[in-house]
């Protein structure tokens, strides 16, 4: 993991640098995919502000905290980021568990008893596939919020209710590192 530490209105001492690096080891224990960490330490009047941004395989995690002591600010922001990482990891585990129950599950034609086990009351057989109905709770949000949620969830699409239009929209990840938005016609 590459760590870059910058100071605004503050000289970065060796002790402060080693404290930041030792605290970031805790983050790495919970999230080993971290590519680099950008740390900005600044002082404004009597506030000591620590700001950390982690980049890991397309995921960006950011935290900012301030207190009267720089060491306390660093400790607090690392704890905040650690909580975000644990929350992200839990979402990933839930997604991986749900992956076994995909909308279109590929069925083995030689094992119809396995297909019967997968079939739910609200399912339909289409060729060698099983269409399984899943219900989701739609959360009202803006398209920008939906894109941010999609990026954190690391999924291919997100269905949501557009807070401005009150209509169901879909935001999806495109191959060229952009997002697409599907809106119904009026």
C-alpha distance from residue 105 to each of 6, 125, 130, 147 (Å): 49, 10, 6, 26
Which pTM value belongs to this model?
Answer: 0.52
Whether the Cβ atoms of residue 103 and residue 131 lie closer than 8 Å to each other = yes
How far apart (Å, rounded) are the C-alpha atoms in residues 186 and 182?
13
pLDDT tens across the length of the chain (186 residues): 788 899 988 888 999 999 999 988 877 776 767 678 889 999 998 899 999 988 776 677 888 999 999 999 999 999 998 888 888 777 777 765 554 444 444 444 434 444 444 444 456 777 777 777 777 778 788 888 888 777 776 678 888 899 888 899 999 988 887 889 999 886
């Amino acid at each position: 993991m590459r760590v870059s530490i910058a100071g605004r209105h503050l000289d970065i001492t060796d002790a402060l640098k080693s404290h930041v690096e030792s605290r970031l080891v805790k983050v790495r224990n919970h999230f080993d995919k971290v590519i680099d960490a950008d740390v900005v330490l600044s002082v404004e009047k009597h506030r000591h502000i620590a700001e950390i941004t982690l980049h890991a395989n397309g995921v960006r995690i950011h935290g900012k905290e301030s207190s009267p002591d720089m060491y306390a600010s660093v400790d607090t922001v690392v704890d905040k980021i650690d909580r975000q990482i644990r929350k992200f990891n839990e979402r990933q585990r839930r997604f991986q568990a749900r992956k076994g129950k995909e909308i279109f599950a590929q069925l083995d034609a030689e094992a119809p008893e396995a297909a019967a086990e997968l079939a739910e009351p609200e399912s339909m057989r289409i060729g060698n596939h099983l269409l399984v109905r899943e219900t989701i709770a739609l959360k009202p949000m803006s398209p920008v919020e939906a894109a941010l949620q999609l990026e954190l969830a690391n999924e291919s699409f997100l269905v949501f209710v557009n807070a401005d239009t009150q209509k169901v929209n879909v935001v999806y990840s495109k191959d060229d590192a952009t997002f697409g938005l599907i809106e119904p016609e009026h």
